[in-house]
């Protein structure tokens, strides 16, 4: 049963027939987990066939049930019956953020019950909220993808973990026991990324010794702050962690090394977004993120909207196969990425680590565009010199590098390295300035490495 719509429809029947005797969550999750595990052993052609079939299904469903997509595709002279190959799919118009803002209600499919909609919003690079809706039914797919990532690291869904993120309970303690998913009833505890104080981190350390969690799930910024606390206080944690999963922003090499040193385990980088929660994850090779192509289609295109090749950076387009309530098809999410291996012999296609946001590019004088994602990569060669960095566009003619280093000598060496790497900018009249300072986390535990001029 390689069609996700078949699984969802099958469960509808099971739910109606056995709702009193079979728990809703566990049956859906069981089917979804088996579907994902089976796909990992398929050949590229077999998995590509599964993905193509699912893409056809969501395009057809959106066309028939969403006023927005019916008008958008009809205007282009497209009908789902025209969709035979990926070449046909690539002719579909791209979905831009402004279209979602302007047509949110029209995107919702007519078959969707309003009480099944879960509103969610992301601030985005402009600070203007982008609200979309998730279908309650799609969450078992999110959990199944979460458990796929755990399985790749030999972690059980029953294992305890520490979460470092924002909590909704403002009055709660920063560290507490919770049932993250009530139907699973597995004990976890949270360190609130908004209020990471020495006392809260001290309590988290004590909970680690007491509960011995097998993994950490964290914002990059939150994991770094906690790592700084552990290293500063020379705390030796119990050797219990199998992995630390980081999310919310790209992770630099220097921060990765710091986190791995503090917790004595490997960092697993993930890629996702508020709009589509899980897109890709590292498995066994650092910097190689396996895409979840059985549930999402990821494309990378250049400025001419032509598909890019392996290791060639492009704008990310994402299609979600499972959100039938609020379809996102060829959605340009604002990220830049490149494929590591687009067509593997066996298993899932993979991405290189995410370059960054399109909006992070700096527009300088004389129509010069500086790739913000490139600016982060120059620090990968000097993790021993720079603990944390922030690059800010000060004006059309200047860029400021804020560097946090152990010593003045490290700061001077890092500055010389950056000047050497960016000599081409200096020749174009761009001024590079540097400051040595402690860089605090921002955005409730998330990190922005690149800040463009307002």
**Cα separation, 178 vs 429, whole angstroms:** 55
CATH code for the domain defined by 361-451 = 3.30.300.30
Dihedral of CA 74/78/80/81: which sign? Answer: positive
Angle between helices 198-211 and 220-232 (to 10 degrees): 90
Token code pair at residue 141? 């797919």
Residues paired with 297 in a beta bridge: 319
- Render each residue's pLDDT in the chain as its tens digit; 454 residues: 444 444 444 334 334 433 333 334 467 778 888 999 999 889 999 999 999 999 999 999 999 999 999 999 999 999 999 999 999 999 999 999 889 989 999 999 999 988 888 887 664 433 344 788 988 877 788 889 999 999 999 998 888 899 887 654 433 333 333 333 333 334 467 887 766 778 888 999 999 999 999 999 988 878 888 998 999 999 999 999 999 999 877 788 888 999 999 999 999 999 988 889 899 999 999 999 999 999 999 999 998 999 999 999 999 999 999 999 999 999 998 888 999 999 998 889 999 988 765 545 677 888 676 756 567 667 767 867 887 788 899 999 999 999 988 899 999 999 999 999 888 889 889 999 999 998 875 544 455 677 877 6
Domain ranges of the chain: 361-451
Given a contact cutoff of 8 angstroms between Cβ atoms, the answer to whether 343 and 366 are in contact is no
The answer for residues whose C-beta is within 8 angstroms of residue 176's C-beta and 6 or more apart is 189, 190
User: How many residues in the chain?
Assistant: 454
């Amino acid at each position: 049963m390689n069609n996700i719509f078949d699984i969802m429809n099958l469960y509808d029947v099971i739910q109606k027939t056995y709702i009193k005797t079979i728990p809703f969550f566990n049956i859906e999750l069981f089917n979804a987990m088996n579907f994902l595990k089976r796909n990992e052993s398929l050949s590229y052609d077999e998995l590509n066939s599964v993905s193509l079939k699912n893409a056809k299904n969501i395009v057809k469903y959106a066309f028939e049930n969403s006023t927005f997509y019916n008008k958008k595709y009809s205007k282009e002279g497209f009908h789902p019956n025209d969709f035979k190959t990926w070449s046909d799919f690539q002719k579909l118009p791209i979905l831009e953020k402004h279209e979602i803002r302007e047509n949110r209600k029209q995107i919702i499919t007519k078959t969707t019950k309003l009480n099944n909609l879960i509103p969610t919003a992301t601030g985005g690079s402009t600070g203007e909220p982008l609200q979309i809706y998730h279908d309650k039914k799609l969450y078992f797919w999110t959990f199944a993808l979460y458990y796929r990532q755990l399985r790749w690291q030999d972690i059980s869904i029953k294992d305890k973990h520490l979460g470092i993120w924002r909590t909704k309970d403002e009055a709660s303690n920063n560290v507490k026991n919770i049932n993250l998913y009530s139907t699973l009833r597995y004990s976890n505890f949270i360190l609130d990324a908004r209020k990471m104080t020495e006392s809260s981190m001290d309590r988290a350390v004590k909970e680690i010794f007491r509960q011995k969690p097998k993994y950490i799930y964290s914002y990059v910024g939150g994991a770094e702050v906690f790592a700084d606390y552990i290293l500063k206080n020379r705390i030796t944690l119990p050797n219990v962690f199998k992995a630390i999963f980081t999310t919310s922003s790209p992770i630099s090499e220097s921060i990765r090394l710091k986190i791995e040193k503090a917790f004595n385990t490997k960092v697993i980088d993930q890629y996702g977004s508020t709009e589509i929660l899980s897109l890709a994850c590292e498995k066994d090779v650092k910097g190689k993120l396996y895409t979840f192509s059985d549930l999402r289609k990821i494309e990378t295109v250049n400025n001419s909207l032509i598909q890019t090749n392996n290791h060639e950076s492009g704008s990310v387009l994402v299609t979600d196969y499972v959100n039938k309530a609020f379809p996102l098809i060829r959605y340009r999410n604002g990220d830049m990425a490149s494929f590591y291996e687009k067509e593997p012999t066996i298993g899932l296609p993979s991405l290189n680590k995410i370059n960054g946001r399109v909006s992070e590019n700096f527009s300088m004088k004389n129509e010069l565009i500086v790739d913000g994602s490139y600016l982060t990569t120059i620090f990968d060669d000097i993790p021993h010199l720079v603990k944390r960095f922030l690059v800010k566009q000060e004006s059309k003619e200047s860029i400021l590098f804020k560097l946090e280093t152990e010593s003045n000598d490290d700061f001077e060496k890092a500055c010389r390295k950056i000047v050497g790497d960016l000599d081409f900018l200096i020749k174009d009249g761009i001024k590079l300035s540097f400051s040595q300072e402690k860089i605090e986390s921002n955005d409730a535990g998330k990190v922005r490495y690149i800040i463009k001029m307002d």
